């Protein structure tokens, strides 16, 4: 099968964001894999968090310090941030037509999600390892 | 709109498009997704404040304890509940199931009702509703109370 039969789009059309630049399926799959993880992690996180905040600052500190809570919190927050970066990317791509604005917002989206993960990871590791 | 008798498909233009359950569900999924995006800032702020110490934790807990803080927190709970349950519906649809129009509409409505019930249930069971505490969760100091 030759290259031309695989797609009617030109390679330039693909990389200009007018179609999948060969990562469209990856976005679809990772969005759903993170969703499956979150089906389990979010209810656990909600229930634990409500119990944790009951004890005020000391209760919160003791809760995060627990090894299982620390690891599951990192997983929950990590999966959530990964999932929402993908989701927000689609929202931006759908509603923002201007190329410049779109690019800025997509970069900002990544920065926010990675930044929030760094803050969350720092906080959890500082409490759990100290 | 009601005088329109042509049965052929119309342009999917929002202003002239008949609302239906699956459409509302799709829009709500996106709105709650953006809501959760904003809400996770609170979760990360809470984790960060816990690591930073009581000087940061107490003001944040106080802020969340105000009526506006509680309203935002309940909105976030509702947003998570809906996006979670409707997300499961989306995964079922991705598997090629529940795609019949009638059943799809029914399931969309069911998700909406269940998500409100879930959010209200979480708040009642966790003692976040003032004066209601079936599991005696408020035995310890609640978030936002003076330590």
Domain CATH code at residue A55: 1.20.1300.10
Please give the DSSP secondary-structure letter assigned to residue A55: T
Top-confidence residue, B73 or B146: B73
Q: Does residue B13 carry a pLDDT above 90?
A: no
Between chain A and chain B, the number of residue pairs with CB atoms below 8 A apart is 99
Spatial distance between the Cα atoms of A60 and A30, rounded to a whole number of angstroms: 32
- Is the dihedral angle over the CA atoms B140, B143, B145, B146 positive or is it negative? positive
pLDDT of residue A51: 81
Asked whether residue A8 is domain-assigned, the answer is no
Q: Is residue A13 part of a domain?
A: no
- The CATH class of the B19-132 domain is mainly alpha
CB contact under 8 A, A39 and B128: no
Question: Tens digits of per-residue pLDDT, B100-134?
Answer: 999 999 999 999 999 999 999 999 988 888 878 87
In a domain, A105, yes or no: yes
The residue whose two tokens read 């926010």 is: A112
Q: How high is the pLDDT of residue A22?
A: 59
Inter-chain CB proximity B40 and A59 less than 8 Å: no
| A119 touches B at CB < 8 Å | yes
The tokens describing B54, both together, are 């009581």
Mutate to test the interface with B, among A51, A95, A116 (most CBs of B within 10 A): A116
Task: Concatenate the DSSP letters of all residues of B23-59 into one string.
Answer: HHHHHHHHHHHHHHHHHHHHHHHHHHHHHH-HHHHHH
Q: How far is B55 from chain A (nearest CA, A)?
A: 10
Measure Cα distances from A13 to A2, A124, B54, B123 in Å. Answer: 18, 44, 54, 50
pLDDT digits (tens, 9 = 90+) for B20-66: 899 999 999 999 999 999 999 999 999 999 999 999 999 999 999 99
Using an 8 Å Cβ cutoff, are A77 and B47 in contact? Answer: yes
**What pLDDT was estimated at residue B33?**
97
Q: Which two tokens stand for residue A15?
A: 């990389």
Structure tokens at A94: 């759908």
Residue A114 scores a pLDDT above 90 = yes
Asked, for residue A14, whether it belongs to a domain, the answer is no
pLDDT at A1 over 60: no
The residue ranking higher by pLDDT, A51 or A8, is A51
Hey, what are B71's tokens?
Answer: 């309203």
Asked if residue B29 lies in contact with residue B79, where contact means CB atoms within 8 angstroms, the answer is no
Has residue A76 been placed in a domain? yes
Residue of B nearest to A130 (CA): B51
Closest chain A residue to B48, measured at CA: A123
Instruction: Give the residue numbers spanning the domain of A90.
Output: 23-129
pLDDT of residue B80: 97
Q: Do B40 and A73 touch (CB under 8 A)?
A: no
Residue A4 predicted with pLDDT over 50: no
Neighbours of B94 (CB within 10 A): 12
Q: Where are the domains of chain B?
A: 19-132
Q: Which of chain A's residues have a Cβ under 8 Å away from the Cβ of B84?
A: 38-39, 42-43
B82: exposed, middle or buried (C-beta count within 10 Å: 0-12, 13-18, 19+)? Answer: buried
Asked if residue A17 belongs to a domain, the reply is: no
Residue B91 has a pLDDT of 96
Residue A7 lies in a domain: no
Q: How confident is the model at residue B2 (pLDDT cuts 50, 70, 90)?
A: low
Q: Is the Cβ pair B147, A77 closer than 8 Å?
A: no
Rounded to two decimals, the pTM is 0.83
Count the domains in chain A.
1
- From B44's Cα to the closest Cα of chain A, the distance in A is 5
Higher-scoring residue by pLDDT: B113, B4: B113
Q: Would you mind telling me the total number of residues written for chain B in this entry?
A: 147
| Nearest residue to B46 via CA among A109, A116, A47, A68 | A116
A60 in contact with B, Cβ within 8 Å: yes
């Amino acid at each position: 099968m030759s290259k031309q039969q695989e797609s009617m789009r030109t390679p330039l059309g693909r990389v200009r964001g007018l179609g999948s630049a060969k990562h469209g399926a990856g976005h679809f799959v990772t969005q759903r894999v993170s969703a499956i993880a979150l089906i389990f992690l979010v209810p656990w996180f909600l229930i634990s968090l409500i119990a944790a905040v009951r004890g005020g600052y000391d209760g919160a500190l003791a809760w995060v310090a627990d090894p299982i809570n620390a690891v599951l919190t990192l997983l929950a927050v990590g999966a959530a941030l990964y999932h929402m970066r993908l989701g927000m990317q689609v929202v931006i791509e759908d509603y923002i037509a201007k190329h410049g604005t779109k690019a800025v917002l997509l970069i900002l989206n990544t920065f926010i999600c990675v930044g929030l993960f760094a803050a969350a990871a720092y906080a959890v590791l500082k409490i759990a390892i100290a | 709109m009601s005088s329109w008798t042509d049965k052929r498909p119309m342009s999917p233009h929002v202003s002239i498009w008949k609302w239906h359950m699956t459409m509302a569900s799709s829009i709500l999924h996106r709105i709650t997704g953006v809501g959760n995006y904003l809400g996770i800032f609170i979760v990360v702020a809470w984790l960060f404040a816990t690591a930073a110490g009581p000087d940061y934790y107490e003001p944040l807990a106080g802020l969340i304890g105000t009526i506006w803080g509680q309203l935002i927190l309940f909105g976030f709970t509702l947003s998570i509940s809906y996006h979670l349950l409707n997300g499961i519906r989306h995964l079922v649809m991705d598997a090629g199931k529940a795609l019949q129009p009638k059943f799809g509409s029914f399931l969309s409505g069911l998700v909406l009702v269940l998500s409100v019930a879930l959010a209200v249930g979480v708040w009642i069971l966790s003692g976040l509703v003032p004066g209601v505490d079936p599991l005696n969760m408020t035995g310890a100091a609640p978030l936002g109370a003076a330590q």
